[in-house]
Copies of this chain bind each other. A is one copy, B any other.
């Protein structure tokens, strides 16, 4: 058996990031993901690079086949329905109301496949005051509290996290939900509609520790706490940056030995985990003063020897060369027919019996139109007609 989802077929009309990355995970695990794209432009993100296929597109559309169908024409919609009739999952991330206008809403598709799992990914949900607003990553970051979490501690200015966290958290959440709906269907025989709003996925993600001050109602007027104001756990060395820290007494003692500052063990402020937490500001400044006197390699060797948590702050181009990343065989190289040699992480979860793997490179627009439609019973004659009519 290939991946755990081998044998399931997913019809995916999503574009951009959150939808495609969700179906990438399903494809990684063996599902047959058919990416349906508009014939002229394809997925909008194909055009995000002036110098060829964008790297992001290449990663999040791996393990998929591409079929170009014009869904603005009734014949295109009929073709889609023919495919959905023989599929397990349909995923869309159009703005609310669009699929109904296109004739590919839940009712329309359930008529051809009563047990379909119909998945709708939206920015804000399917009703409410923001339902017509356009959604981009910064909008969800600003609304979900992410930019407040990253607020500058001196000036109070909010800051973006410079990674598209909202889209990608939504992808992970959606992939799990789709898998759960497939599992429920194995037992009940029934499909269903699964709806997911980015806003909801991201607030749920921020909440556990990010909204700790908002969780217990009677604590509402509690101060945000001093931990908000202290520096982070990155320290400059003579040749770079490292992170280190100590939670338990044992780790603290190890850190003191590694930094050769035995007087800290006598310091009444640092005797207990609670004391070290309370005096984190001064403690971290003292550590920073010491750590900036030697090289990263020297400190990391000493800290490792004392079993204190530590790591270099790697630049992105260093990550793939890190010894543990290499030991994990995490980054795999593959050949893409158009861009050549590329590297990506393998699927992170390792299934002993049903391995997930890279099977297919990201497809060219419409690369599999003919092959896939033949599988769904479209004849050579029909294919020629559809092509002549600019439907495919």
State the A residues within 8 Å of B (CB). Answer: 1, 3-5, 7, 17, 21, 25, 29, 50, 54-56, 58-60, 124-125, 127-130, 132-136, 138-150, 157-165, 168-169, 172-177, 179-184, 186-188, 190, 192-197, 199-201, 203-220, 232-234, 236, 241-243, 245, 247, 251, 274, 304, 307-317, 319-320, 322-328, 330-331, 333, 339-345, 347-354
Contact A215 B162 (CB under 8 A): no
**A143 vs B310: C-alpha distance when bound (angstroms):** 10
B182 contacts A314, C-beta separation under 8 Å: no
Partner pick for A162 among B186, B232, B251, CB 8 A cutoff = B232
Q: Bound complex: CA of A188 vs CA of B354, how far in Å? A: 10
- Chain B neighbourhood of A7, CB < 8 A: 187
Complex Cα spacing A23 to B199, Å: 22
Contact pick for A56, options B148, B209, B313, CB 8 Å: B209
User: Could you say how many copies of this chain the assembly holds?
Assistant: 2
Contact of A176 among B140, B141, B165, B176 (CB under 8 A): B176
What B residues does A322 contact at CB under 8 A? Answer: 143
Known: A1-B188, A311-B143, A327-B125. A149 touches B209 (CB 8 A): no
Contacts of A146 in B (CB 8 A): 163
Q: List 21 A-B contacts (CB under 8 A).
A: A4-B180, A55-B211, A125-B327, A133-B304, A134-B307, A134-B308, A139-B310, A142-B234, A147-B313, A157-B241, A173-B349, A176-B179, A176-B349, A184-B351, A195-B352, A197-B348, A199-B330, A200-B345, A211-B316, A216-B341, A220-B317
